[in-house]
């Protein structure tokens, strides 16, 4: 397929601005994206499938499966980062019955930043690989292989919970980072492929996938807090924690295998596999790599928005946000010592993130060509100094705490989560809708690439940010 070839619109595009004229849409598209063609030309492909009325999503089963796949795409990474107490326990001398606790070291201070780098940098490479393989291997193969590898890593992690690693802590640390890298890489191939598939469906399905990702973080945070409350031993807590991840990953595999058997999903999958014409069919089959230029021409502004949203978020969460301690820390008070960070950082952020993503199901403003969307995304930069001036500990360079009250980090975490959810979801669901139908799946992969690139850059900057504190 030639990048200069006239391309057909996406069949399932549902975003049609009704408050602007065609001339206004034309001029705005030229200013923002550099393309003078209408955002979504009103044409429909010919064929028997296109003439059929789409079946109903009975009992919202397809919506539920994509929501579940969204949970499964981020749950592994969230389980790794929210098990902070377990990792610090295993990486300290306290993991040995005869040892003494020595958790305050370089590894513990920078552990979240190490995890962020180990997870996001390989993810960028895996998403590039996913884009190159999008026409070589079916989405079914890519998704099932990634889920199986994630399951294997978690099984090994679960087994190691009861193994004493006090004599080889650095080897265990290296193995943990390698596990995080593999899980994150496979999770991004999985989520990128699912985003690509969702591009063939109505926007509610893309929104379900993205909302599910936020729910994955919420569930892992809740599981972590429950474990802290009911488990007397950190290893027993972690064992239940990782067994939950094992079972859930198996459940995701089963539900994905069910997806093609449902009438609603089968209709859109068959429509996606139906070429518009013989020439398009020939071109798409002769090119093993999807054309990049026509996709970026339509999506580069949206991609930059996604990049910057997650760049700011990962720079703060969890490396900085999880280090903010209560101003009234008391050894005899469980709230200020045990539950303050899990509740105010992990749980509150994920709930706010979920609310922001879920809001896009009812409100989709600003639109894909609006100049307001990049502006709102850029305004999130102010969140960085707000978190720095809270009670982050330990502080080696900036000793003054300006926001000296526990309410401030609560408010800032809510703002961070809601804005991440809403402003991160809008461009993600717009991306596959502003390109032709035959490019919807690679466009979804491209948007996932921008997201992961933002995470990778943000994680790298988070190390320097923590060091400056």
Whether residue 413 contacts residue 386, with contact meaning beta carbons closer than 8 Å, is answered with: no
What average pLDDT does range 186-212 have in this prediction? 87
Whether residue 193 contacts residue 51, with contact meaning beta carbons closer than 8 Å, is answered with: no
Q: Report the C-alpha gap between 166 and 89 in whole angstroms.
A: 10
- Is a pLDDT exceeding 60 seen at residue 97? no
What average pLDDT does range 396-413 have in this prediction? 91
Instruction: For residue 172, give the nearest of 81, 115, 87, 111 by alpha carbon.
Output: 87
Instruction: Among 9-13, 154-158, 321-325, 418-422, name the one with the lowest average pLDDT.
Output: 9-13
What average pLDDT does range 330-344 have in this prediction? 82
CA atoms lying within 13 Å on the CB side of residue 207: 19
Q: Report the C-alpha gap between 21 and 10 in whole angstroms.
A: 20
Element (DSSP H or E) covering residue 182:
helix 169-198
Taking each helix axis from N to C end, the angle separating 348-359 and 203-230, rounded to the nearest 10 degrees, works out to 160
| Residue 181 vs residue 337, higher pLDDT | 181
What average pLDDT does range 85-103 have in this prediction? 61
pLDDT digits (tens, 9 = 90+) for 110-152: 776 677 778 777 877 887 888 888 778 888 899 999 999 999 9
What is the pLDDT at residue 23?
38
| Residue 192 vs residue 296, higher pLDDT | 296
Instruction: For residue 175, give the nearest of 159, 189, 190 by alpha carbon.
Output: 159
Phi/psi-derived region of residue 43, left when phi > 0, alpha when psi is between -120 and 50, beta in every other case: beta
Dihedral of CA atoms 314, 315, 316, 318 in degrees, nearest 10, equals 50
pLDDT digits (tens, 9 = 90+) for 243-278: 888 999 999 999 999 999 999 999 888 887 765 444
CATH number of 57-468: 1.20.1250.20
- Is a pLDDT exceeding 50 seen at residue 18? no
Residue 44 is classified by DSSP as -
Q: Tell me the three state secondary structure of residue 136.
A: coil
- Is a pLDDT exceeding 90 seen at residue 408? yes
What is the pLDDT at residue 11?
37
- Is a pLDDT exceeding 80 seen at residue 306? yes
Backbone φ and ψ for 225, nearest 5 degrees, come out as -70, -40
Strand positions, DSSP E, 107-230: none
Positive or negative torsion for Cα 159, 164, 169, 171: negative
What average pLDDT does range 67-90 have in this prediction? 81
Instruction: For residue 451, give the nearest of 104, 234, 191, 218 by alpha carbon.
Output: 191
- Is a pLDDT exceeding 90 seen at residue 26? no
Average pLDDT over the chain reads 80
- Is a pLDDT exceeding 80 seen at residue 81? no
């Amino acid at each position: 397929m030639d990048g200069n070839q006239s391309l057909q619109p996406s069949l399932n595009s549902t975003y049609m601005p009704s408050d602007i004229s065609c001339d206004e849409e034309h001029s705005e598209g030229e200013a923002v994206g550099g393309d003078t063609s209408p955002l979504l030309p009103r044409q429909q492909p010919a064929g028997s499938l296109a003439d059929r009325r789409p079946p109903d999503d009975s009992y919202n089963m397809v919506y539920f499966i994509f929501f579940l796949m969204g949970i499964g795409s981020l749950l592994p990474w969230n389980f790794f980062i929210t098990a902070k107490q377990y990792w610090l326990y295993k990486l300290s001398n306290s993991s040995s019955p005869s040892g003494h606790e020595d958790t305050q070291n370089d590894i513990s201070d920078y552990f979240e930043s190490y995890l962020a780098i180990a997870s996001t940098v390989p993810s960028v490479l895996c998403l590039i690989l996913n884009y190159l393989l999008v026409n070589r291997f079916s989405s079914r193969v890519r998704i099932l292989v990634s889920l199986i590898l994630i399951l294997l890593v978690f099984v090994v992690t679960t087994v190691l919970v009861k193994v004493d690693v006090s004599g080889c802590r650095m080897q265990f640390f290296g193995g943990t980072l390698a596990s995080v890298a593999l899980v994150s890489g496979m999770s991004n191939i999985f989520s990128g492929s699912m985003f690509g598939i969702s591009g063939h469906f109505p926007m509610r399905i893309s929104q379900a996938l993205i909302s599910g990702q936020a729910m994955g973080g919420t569930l892992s945070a809740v599981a972590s807090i429950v474990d802290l409350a009911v488990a007397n031993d950190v290893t027993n807590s972690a064992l239940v924690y990782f067994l939950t991840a094992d079972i859930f990953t198996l459940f995701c595999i089963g539900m994905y295998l069910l997806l093609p058997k449902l009438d609603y999903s089968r209709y859109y999958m068959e429509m996606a596999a139906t070429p518009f014409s013989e020439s398009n069919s020939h071109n798409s089959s002769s090119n093993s790599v999807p054309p990049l230029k026509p996709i970026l021409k339509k999506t580069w502004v949206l991609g930059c928005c996604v990049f910057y949203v997650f760049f700011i978020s990962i720079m703060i969460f969890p490396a900085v946000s999880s280090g903010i301690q209560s101003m009234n820390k008391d050894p005899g008070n469980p709230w200020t010592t045990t539950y303050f960070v899990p509740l105010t950082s992990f749980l509150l952020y994920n709930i706010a993130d979920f609310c922001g993503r879920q809001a896009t199901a009812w409100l989709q403003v600003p639109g894909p060509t609006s100049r307001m969307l990049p502006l709102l995304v850029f305004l999130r930069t102010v969140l960085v100094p707000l978190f720095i001036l809270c009670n982050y500990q330990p502080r080696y360079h900036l000793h003054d705490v300006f926001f000296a009250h526990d309410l401030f980090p609560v408010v800032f975490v809510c703002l961070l989560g809601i804005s991440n959810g809403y402003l991160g979801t809008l461009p993600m669901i717009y991306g596959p809708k502003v390109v032709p139908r035959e490019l919807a799946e690679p466009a979804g992969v491209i948007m996932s690439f921008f997201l992961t690139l933002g995470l990778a850059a943000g994680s790298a900057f988070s190390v320097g940010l923590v060091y400056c504190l």
